[in-house]
Structure 1
C-alpha cells in the first residue's frame, strides 16, 4: 500500500509520461500510461482494501473481510473518509462475528471520524442502539434510534428500526 501523497506524485509523473508518449506517436503506450495514472488517482480517493472488503461483505464472507481489514497496518494514515469507512466495515464485520464490544468501538470511531453517507450513519447509529439495548441501556438506545430515524431519509432501515423499537418495548 503506497502512501497517499506518493500515489499522487506517481500519477502526475505517469500522466506527464503519457503526454510525452502521445507526442512521440506511441499511442498504445500512452493509453496504458493514462489508465495506470487513472487507477492511482482512483485508489487515492478509494482505498483498495476498503473496496475489496465491500465486495466480500456483499457476499457475506465476514472472515475474509476481517482478514482483508487486518492487513491494513495504519488506518489513521488514510484519508479521513477512507478511515471512517475502514472502521465502519470493521464494525459490521465484528458485529456479524459476535464481537459486540469491539464493534461498538469501531462504529463510534467511524461516526466520530466522519461517515459521508447518511444511510451509513443511520446504520451505524442503529447498530449502536442495538448494542446499548443488549446492555439494557434504554436511554442511549432511544437516542440512537431517534438519530437513525432522522438520518434514514430513503426509509431503507424502517423495518430494522421498528424491530429494535419493538425489542425496546419488551425491556
Structure 2
C-alpha cells in the first residue's frame, strides 16, 4: 500500500542491495533482492495506488484520492479486482466535479469489472440509470434499472431504484 514514490524508493533500495550482494559474492541474497525488486515492479503495474486511494476516498478526501489515482501508469494493466474500484472512484470524483460525460464513461467501465458485491454493482447501475435520466434517455435508464433491481440487496438501494423509476415514468 505505497504510492509511486514509495515504490520507486523501494526498488532503488533493492537494486542497491542486489549490487552490494553481488559485489560480496552473495548470489542468493542478490537474487532475493532482485526478486523483491521484480515483485514491487509487478505490484506497481497490477495494483498501483488504488488501495491507498480508496482509503482516502472512503474518508471523503477526494482530492488526495484523485492525486493517487493519477499515479496509475496505465489503467488497462491493473488487476481485475483493482480496475473496478479504480473506475468507480474515478466516476464518483467526476460526478463531484459535475463532469457527467466522464462519470458515465467510468461507470460504464466499472460495470464490466468485479466490485465488492452485488450491491456495489447495483449502485453502479443506479448511477448509470440516473445519468441516462439526466439525458432524458428513458430506454437506457429502464435497462439500467432492471439490472439494478436484480443486483440490489439493501433497502436503501431498492428505495433509490423506486425513486428513479418514478422519475423515468414521469418523462
Q: Distance in 1 between matches of 2:65 and 2:94?
A: 10
- 2:84 equivalent in structure 1: 84
What is the DSSP-based 3-state SS (H/G/I as helix, E as strand, rest coil) of the residue aligned with 1:157?
Answer: helix
What is the DSSP-based 3-state SS (H/G/I as helix, E as strand, rest coil) of the residue aligned with 2:111?
Answer: helix
Q: Distance in 2 between matches of 1:67 and 1:108?
A: 22
Q: Distance in 2 between matches of 1:168 and 1:63?
A: 33
Q: Could you tell me whether the CA contact under 8 Å between 1:126 and 1:161 is conserved in 2?
A: yes
Give the gaps of 5 or more residues in structure 2: 15-35
Q: Which moved more, 1:63-72 or 1:46-55?
A: 46-55
Q: Distance in 1 between matches of 2:77 and 2:92?
A: 21
Q: How many residues align?
A: 137
The two structures, once aligned, show a CA RMSD in angstroms of 3.0
| TM-score normalised by L of structure 2 | 0.68
- 1:75 equivalent in structure 2: 75
Q: Distance in 2 between matches of 1:143 and 1:73?
A: 34
Give the gaps of 5 or more residues in structure 1: 11-35
| TM-score normalised by L of structure 1 | 0.68
- 1:124 equivalent in structure 2: 124
- 1:51 equivalent in structure 2: 51
**What's the CA shift for 1:147?**
0.9
Does 2:94 match 1:106?
no
**What's the CA shift for 1:126?**
0.5
List per-residue Cα deviations over 1:84-143 (Å, max 9, x = no partner).
Answer: 221111111111221110111111111223435211211110000011001110111011
